[in-house]
Amino acid sequence: MNTIAHTTLLFAVGMCLTLGPSQAESQTPPPVMAKWDQAAAADYLDIRQAWWRTWPVAARDDDTSCVSCHTSLPYALARPALRTALGETGPTLPEMDLLGDVEKRVALWNEMDPFYPDQTFGLPKSSQSKGTEAILNAVILASRDAREGRLTNETRQAFDNLWKLQFTRGEATGAWAWLHFDLAPWESDGAAYFGAALAAVAVGVAPDQYATSTEIQARVTSLRKYLQKDAEDRPPFDRVMLLWASTELSDLLTSAQQQSIISDLMSLQQDDGGWSLASLGRWEPRDGLSSAPASDGYATGLISFVLQKAGLWPVQENLNRALTWLVQNQDPRSGLWPASSLNRERDPASDLGLLMADAATGFAVLALTLAETP
């Protein structure tokens, strides 16, 4: 654990101890493994990723599929976390298909069409598509390599593709073009910050000390400066992502800055222990849709995961309540966690209506499995 995370951990323990001896002693971690269904969560994630890859709308050139922030990315990060609990010896078929698509698109980077070309979707969708894809490819492959302990040639190529697209001048220096379809939270105004934070996570998790490689230091410094600029004024969603990035990429935040974000997040926690995605951003409701104030699986899973990455123990009162919310709100039939669209009303049982549940389930799994990690 780095110095910042250790300091944050001491801060969290201090918060717990201020409750008084009897209350602090009662804050035991929820028996996570005994109360949530890992197999059902795994089945749900596998089914949804398999559907996404074969859905005609997600199809791209050379028999590949679009990598999505709501389904593919959470799946790539979360599904391996279930492997030990389920006694699996390797990746599932949907995992291998996803990784195969990413590796193919990385290898044929200059030949592959953008996810959304200018000719069909208008300027500047090609550059936005390439910037977004470069980041997602790097996160997925670097996370795989981190688990296996070796930086592969494919991942080095993904990073090479990434750095070539980083802005080197203007207000967005250090960031990348990012898809904008006026869809919250990942494709709306300001979402390029979300993408830059993911890029920082990718750089930080990459094995073989990639983040300290001499040839990328100017690029990494530029990325740090972008993320640090006006960080205190960013909406809570961006600050969650910044906190996550700071746990992987050194010298991004001080311990005091980490603690400030943690404190702000605690103030937004709902009485039931969860968080509401609507409370984390400044997104304007669309099509007359009112933002639901209720706790949801994506916000609660993401924040619970990031707080643990920042050094908080599951025994800490706020985090304990959040993990308990996750345990209690897994759907017993499908294995998913609920989440609602910020953009339009959808049938929650439809494939499109489940897109937010895909993200919620991925991050709920990440939070709960991390809570059980010795």
Give domain limits for the chain.
3-371
In 278-300, which positions are buried (b, 16+ CB within 10 angstroms) versus exposed (e)?
bbbbebeeeeeeebeeebbbbbb
Could you tell me how many residues make up the chain? 374
Q: Which parts of 274-354 fold into alpha helices (H)? A: 297-309, 317-328
In this structure, is the dihedral angle defined by the CA atoms of residues 320, 322, 328 and 333, taken in order, positive or negative? Answer: negative
pLDDT score at 224: 98
pLDDT score at 184: 95
pLDDT score at 293: 84
Distances, alpha carbon 97 to alpha carbons 17, 29, 46, 75, 195, in Å: 47, 36, 11, 12, 23
Distances, alpha carbon 328 to alpha carbons 117, 277, 313, 321, in Å: 43, 18, 19, 10
Distances, alpha carbon 299 to alpha carbons 3, 45, 219, 225, 302, in Å: 27, 18, 30, 26, 5
Each of the 374 residues of the chain gets a pLDDT tens digit; together they read 444 444 444 444 344 433 333 333 344 444 454 589 999 999 999 999 999 999 999 999 999 999 999 999 999 999 999 999 999 999 999 999 999 999 999 999 999 999 999 999 999 999 999 999 999 999 999 999 999 999 999 999 999 999 999 999 999 999 999 999 999 999 999 999 999 999 999 999 999 999 999 999 999 999 999 999 999 999 999 999 999 999 999 999 999 999 999 999 999 999 999 999 999 999 887 665 666 689 999 999 999 999 999 999 999 999 999 999 999 999 999 999 999 899 988 898 899 999 999 999 999 999 999 999 98
Which phi and psi (to 5°) does residue 193 adopt? Answer: -65, -40
CB neighbour list of residue 238: distance below 8 Å, 6 or more residues apart: 190, 193, 194, 197
| Cβ pair 338, 360 in contact under 8 A | yes
pLDDT score at 345: 85
Amino acid at 51: W
CA distance 267 to 46: 35
Which phi and psi (to 5°) does residue 60 adopt? Answer: -130, -175
CA distance 58 to 241: 26
CA distance 354 to 366: 18
What is the CATH number assigned to the segment(s) 3-371?
1.50.10.20
pLDDT score at 292: 66
CA distance 70 to 59: 16
